Amino acid sequence: MKKLLIGTMIAVMAVSTLFSAGNTRLYTGAEEVTSVGKAAYLCDCDSGAVVYARQETKRLPIASMCKIMTLLLSFEAVESGNLSYEEMITVSANASGMGGSQVFLETGLSYSADELMKTVAVCSANDSCVALAERISGSEAAFVSRMNERAKELGAENTLFANCTGLPKEPQYSCAKDVAIMLREMLSHEKYYEYSKIWLEDFAHPDGRTTQITNTNKLIRTYSGCDGGKTGFTSEAGFCLAATAKRGEMRLIAVVIGADSSASRFSGISAMLDYCFNCYETQILLEAGKPIEEKAFVRGSKEKEIAVAPEKHLKAFLRRGEKGEFSVTISINGDLKAPIGVGDAVGEAVLYSGGVEIGRCALVALESATHMSWWDAFRETLHNWQ
């Protein structure tokens, strides 16, 4: 590993901050961003920096917000090759018999995984959840076990799932912080946004029936920048909502659990997002695709050195008007061998504030490095000998 320190103590906007890995709390002085619900949480999606938290680890029922994990495992099943979006899934009697919100799947009919996942994201379809769970893990019970394992892997320490739908069943619970953790992970799957932005659509069944699906998250239509999230409601859980919104380079996550009305959960989330968009900003410290000064040395190639750049933006999430200092450490692999293709990972960049990591990304090749031919190797040896 070749380690270089660049951009040391970069002067940019910052805040008085107490850091902890993956959960940076920003003391904003806004202790009452919203009093809606039994618990609330507001954070930056990229860094996980916490702007506001109230009763964030209190264990509460979250109703259909548990479908965030159901969708996450579905996306990960596709990513791992265990499932494809095009695969047709035959619906069991167990799945079609789910109550609550549903898309009225018919026992014995087959639907694509893509269509089932869409109905979970848009209209919170319980029947589609169970159909996906049974396909991915063999049974809903096995799928729920994986949900709980994945929650622990993500650091969601106050979460226990009893089913994949959020329908009342004891014991099951989560908390505002854990919901934000799970949503943040799910948002890393770009395919999700193809579903979450849908407001109204006709869902066609194989037998010719049509069911109209409507997005349960009204902020998709009413809040500027909102492009995803998950609602939930049972008499036990109250009205719940986890939502995300993006403006410019800033993406936020806000969670409310246990509001006393549907309108108050939407207004509460809107107030939280408004506060953060107004009082914070995002600074890009390393720009995606922009070459850095350091180059990667590649053995066995005519191209001895190739240009590299960050795969994605490295950003700092900051309160407006305050100053601070950041550093970026560049690590380029020291044992790179040809061939190297454009886009291949060749190192890593890590962003620090106060000596604590707040972001990292891969460094990727901007140029290819092909194998050196026998003749090229001979000419180089001859040149070096001379």
> Token digits for 27?
């003391």
Please confirm, yes or no, whether 124 is among the known catalytic residues.
yes
Please confirm, yes or no, whether 218 is among the known catalytic residues.
no
Per annotation, catalytic residue among 124, 174, 270, 353 = 124
Which helix (DSSP H) or strand (DSSP E) does residue 25 occupy? Answer: strand 25-26
| Cβ burial, residue 20 (10 Å; 0-12/13-18/19+) | exposed
Per annotation, catalytic residue among 67, 118, 177, 295 = 67
Alpha-helix runs per DSSP H in the chain? 67-80, 93-96, 113-123, 126-137, 140-154, 176-186, 191-196, 219-222, 262-279, 374-385
SS3 380: helix
Please confirm, yes or no, whether 188 is among the known catalytic residues.
no
What are the angstrom distances between the C-alpha of 295 and each of 70, 275, 331, 385? Answer: 42, 41, 11, 26
What is the CA 96 to chain-centroid distance, rounded? 29
Question: Any residues with CB less than 8 A from the CB of 32 and at least 6 apart, and which?
Answer: none
Which helix (DSSP H) or strand (DSSP E) does residue 354 occupy? Answer: none
Question: Any residues with CB less than 8 A from the CB of 73 and at least 6 apart, and which?
Answer: 136, 143, 146, 147, 150
Question: Any residues with CB less than 8 A from the CB of 39 and at least 6 apart, and which?
Answer: 54, 55, 56, 58, 60, 175, 176, 255, 256, 257, 258
- The residues annotated as belonging to the active site are 64, 67, 124
